């Protein structure tokens, strides 16, 4: 089986302020940088055959901290981006409610079926992640290890794509900033680790998740 190590990016300024990020970008906070350094230290002794990252800056910055311990380039891809949350990107939840009260109410009720204005569907997120997994399986051997630095929504998308889970499963997965998850992908996929944060005990675990579908539930 091909092992996929999945890291969520470190805390960002928008995470700290409770803003909905989606495809917008926000720099890592000082804490987010320390979280990235902590997961880099955690993974320093691992052997990876490739390092991939979402092309959004917060993921790339986290990936760079990890890649500094390995002699590998970072391969960026938009397939691993967070869900595009349309017109509410950059807003706080209170601003979302004020600007789009009906859409906000419906999203709180069912964030899978009721997306924010102009937002990407969760089916689309899963489809992107499925394309990424297909690319990995086509280009790497069964015993190789791949690192992917992603977002809360794309962690969910990768799990759903790997195990054939429906979009409704999104609300059942939570991941902290700079957490580590590991799945084996292929014909008989399995989970080795989910949302592990032991490397953050001396830093701080944060779970600000306003940029992710289902965060309001």
Task: Give pLDDT tens digits for 139-194.
Answer: 998 899 999 999 999 999 999 999 999 999 998 999 999 999 999 999 899 999 99
Task: Give pLDDT tens digits for 60-85.
Answer: 999 999 999 999 999 999 999 999 99
61 lies in some domain: yes
Q: Quickly tell me which residue has 């995470």 as its tokens.
A: 15
30 lies in some domain: yes
Task: Give pLDDT tens digits for 11-36.
Answer: 999 998 989 999 998 999 999 999 99
| Number of domains making up the chain | 1
pLDDT class for 208, splitting at 50, 70, 90?
A: low
Please choose, from the candidates 132, 107, 119, 137, the residue with its C-alpha nearest in 3D space to the C-alpha of residue 52.
132
pLDDT above 70 as % of the chain: 95
116 lies in some domain: no
Cα–Cα distance for residue pair 87/206, rounded to 1 Å: 26
Contacts of 194 by beta carbon, 8 Å cutoff, 6+ apart: 173, 175, 181
Please choose, from the candidates 28, 59, 2, 45, the residue with its C-alpha nearest in 3D space to the C-alpha of residue 199.
45
Report the predicted TM-score, pTM, of the whole model to 2 decimal places.
Answer: 0.94
155-54-206 Cα angle (round to 5): 50
pLDDT class for 128, splitting at 50, 70, 90?
A: very high
Q: Which residues are known to be catalytic?
A: 9, 82
| Parent domain of 9 | 2-85+121-200
Instruction: Please report the pLDDT score of residue 213 as a whole number.
Output: 42
pLDDT class for 129, splitting at 50, 70, 90?
A: very high
Alpha carbon distances (Å) from 118 to 85, 86, 88, 121, 192: 7, 5, 9, 9, 36
184 lies in some domain: yes
105 lies in some domain: no
Q: Is the pLDDT of residue 216 over 70?
A: no
Please choose, from the candidates 135, 117, 14, 31, the residue with its C-alpha nearest in 3D space to the C-alpha of residue 75.
135
Instruction: Please report the pLDDT score of residue 207 as a whole number.
Output: 75
Task: Give pLDDT tens digits for 85-107.
Answer: 999 999 999 999 999 999 999 99
40 touches 65 (CB < 8 A): yes
110 lies in some domain: no
94 lies in some domain: no
Instruction: Please report the pLDDT score of residue 192 as a whole number.
Output: 97
CATH number of the domain within which 194 lies? 3.40.50.1240
The mean pLDDT of 124-145, rounded to a whole number, is: 96
SS3 of residue 100 by DSSP? coil
Please choose, from the candidates 87, 80, 86, 88, the residue with its C-alpha nearest in 3D space to the C-alpha of residue 58.
80
β-bridge partners, 184: 3, 190
Cα–Cα distance for residue pair 162/153, rounded to 1 Å: 14
Cα–Cα distance for residue pair 182/4, rounded to 1 Å: 6
Q: Is the pLDDT of residue 215 over 50?
A: no
32 lies in some domain: yes
Alpha carbon distances (Å) from 24 to 28, 63, 103, 168, 189: 13, 18, 20, 24, 32
For strands 74-77 and 50-54, give the pairing. parallel
β-bridge partners, 109: none
């Amino acid at each position: 089986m091909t092992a996929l190590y999945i890291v969520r990016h470190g805390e960002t300024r928008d995470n700290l302020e409770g803003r909905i990020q989606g495809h917008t970008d926000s720099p890592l906070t000082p804490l987010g940088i320390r979280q990235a350094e902590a997961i880099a230290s955690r993974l320093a002794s691992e052997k990876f055959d490739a390092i991939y990252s979402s092309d959004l800056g917060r993921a790339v910055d986290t990936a760079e901290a990890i890649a500094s311990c390995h002699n590998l380039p970072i391969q960026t891809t938009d397939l691993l981006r967070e869900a595009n949350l349309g017109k509410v990107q950059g807003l706080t939840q209170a601003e979302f409610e004020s600007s789009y009260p009906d859409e906000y109410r419906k999203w709180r009720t069912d964030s899978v079926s009721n997306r924010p204005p102009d937002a990407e569907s969760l089916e689309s997120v899963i489809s992107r992640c499925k394309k990424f997994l297909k690319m990995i399986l086509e280009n790497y051997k069964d015993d190789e290890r791949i690192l992917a630095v992603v977002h809360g929504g794309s962690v969910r998308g990768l799990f759903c794509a790997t195990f054939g889970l429906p979009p409704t499963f999104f609300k059942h997965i939570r991941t902290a900033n700079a957490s580590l998850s590991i799945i084996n992908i292929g014909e008989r996929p399995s989970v080795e680790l989910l949302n592990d944060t032991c490397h953050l005990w001396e830093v701080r675990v944060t779970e600000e998740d306003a940029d992710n579908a289902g965060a309001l539930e």
